[in-house]
Structure 1
Amino acid sequence: MKDNNYYGTFIEVAEDCPVAAAEIPKAKGDAKTVPVMQYELIANHPYRYTQEDVLFEVFAVRGEVPESERSASRETFFSKGQPCLRASSLGKRYGWGIHHDAEGKMALYALESAEYQAFLRDETVKKVKAMRSKRV
């Protein structure tokens, strides 16, 4: 199975991100949205989960995959291509940079934070931008 994680990489916010300071995604009614679930997993557990962990956990919770079927379901889930977190609203709409450490574990950094700026200056960290919301 292909490894879909980033290592030693910082995902910057998209060039067309509409906010100047990071915002916490909000649920719509009673249902948690994908950005809310992604935010909660990463923000509440910095450097605990990889991109694959977060993508699958959100899929499993939303699809109500029973715990007993998660292992097989995860293999099936990643057998097809999945959008990475560069396509997430966290970086496209809400102003969150995502740092992946050497082990692929992630943490969020607000666009306006000193830590975010430090990652931009750090030449040892690979940088990629979140995908734009609109085509150019």
Structure 2
Amino acid sequence: MDLNYYDTLIAVADDCPVDHAVEPPLRGGKKTVAVVQFEMIDADPGVLTQEDVLFESWLRRQEPVERSEAEIEELRAQFFAKSQACLRASPLPKQYGWGLLFDQAGRVRLCPMESAEYQRIVAGEVADVKVLKAMRSRRA
């Protein structure tokens, strides 16, 4: 089953507390999910899919262990055997002002909420990109 988005912008949540994109901070000296996802997508814009980001951000937060490619593939299969929250629940668009822009191949890159590109897409000026809002942090 394919969990990736295509030609889609995950727009910043309605209750996002910032008015421009900010880099997520460490918490207690440790990398949070937001920091891990930010670093991954920022380092390789337009390379990773939603599935890659979800699995890799989970894997990187596990105890550091040397794993073979076969072990990683097995862990990935086990990870996706259970339902997973999509990137609409990511802290990047919920709390830190980053839109997540997926291309026609399902690869993601960051799109800051204050950018002209983000504003055009949200305004509906880019016809071939679907806009989905990130999930709210609190009930309306």
- Which residue identity does 2:34 align to in structure 1? P
Tell me which residue corresponds to 2:88.
86
SS in 1 for 2:111: strand
What displacement does 1:66 show?
Answer: 3.9
Tell me which residue corresponds to 1:26.
25
SS in 1 for 2:14: coil
Tell me which residue corresponds to 2:37.
38
Q: Which of 117, 134, 137 in structure 2 is aligned with 1:133? A: 137
What displacement does 1:62 show?
Answer: 1.0
Once the two structures are superposed, residues 101-135 of structure 1 have per-residue CA deviations (whole angstroms, 9 ceiling, x without a partner) of 01100000111111211222212111100000111
SS in 2 for 1:70: helix
Tell which deviates more after alignment, 54-63 or 33-42: 54-63
SS in 2 for 1:67: coil
Q: Which runs of 5+ in 1 are unaligned?
A: none
Identity %: 51
- Which residue identity does 1:106 align to in structure 2? V
SS in 2 for 1:10: strand
Tell which deviates more after alignment, 59-68 or 45-54: 59-68
Report the TM-score, using the length of structure 1 for normalisation. Answer: 0.95
Tell which deviates more after alignment, 63-72 or 85-94: 63-72
- Which residue identity does 2:9 align to in structure 1? F
Count of paired positions: 135
What displacement does 1:67 show?
Answer: 2.8
- Which residue identity does 2:90 align to in structure 1? S
Q: Which runs of 5+ in 2 are unaligned?
A: none
Once the two structures are superposed, residues 72-110 of structure 1 have per-residue CA deviations (whole angstroms, 9 ceiling, x without a partner) of 000000010000000011001000000000110000011
Q: Distance in 2 between matches of 1:60 and 1:48?
A: 18
What displacement does 1:30 show?
Answer: 2.8
Q: Distance in 1 between matches of 2:5 and 2:66?
A: 28
Tell me which residue corresponds to 1:67.
67
Tell me which residue corresponds to 2:101.
99
Q: Distance in 2 between matches of 1:66 and 1:104?
A: 29
- Which residue identity does 1:6 align to in structure 2? Y
